[in-house]
Amino acid sequence: MSLIHQGIDIVDVEKFRAVLARNPGFADELFTEEERVYCLSRRNPTLHFAGRFAAKESYLKALGTGIDHIFQEIEIRATNSGKPEIVIKGWAAKMAERRKIRQCTISISHASRYAVASVLLTAE
């Protein structure tokens, strides 16, 4: 029998911009180097940082854990087509393995004020 786990999160982009401005090292704590390079290459980096933050929160909600110190272990990448995908490692990967997660689907949307992400995990 398959189980489906869902997580969703929404981020106010301007509030997120203010948090990043007050805490210059915060992006280094939340995002991998590859994510930072990608977001900083975009016209509105904060919008993309907010989307990735929402995606990571969505993943943690779908996984069923409230642990937020593993953001560096959850990486959001863009495929060649632009579709986002999640790459996990470390403790996050161990949790997914324990919960028998076999597939992960992610969607991220941006508007001028909000970024929203949804994650679906399929498990045995």
Residue 13 neighbours by CB distance under 10 Å: 20
Max CA separation in the chain (angstroms): 47
The answer to whether 8 and 105 are in contact (CB under 8 A) is no
**Which residues, in sequence order, are bridge partners of residue 86?**
76
Residues 6+ apart with CB under 8 A from 18: none
Task: Show which residues are catalytic.
Answer: 61, 110
DSSP character at residue 73: G
Q: Which two tokens stand for residue 65?
A: 């854990």
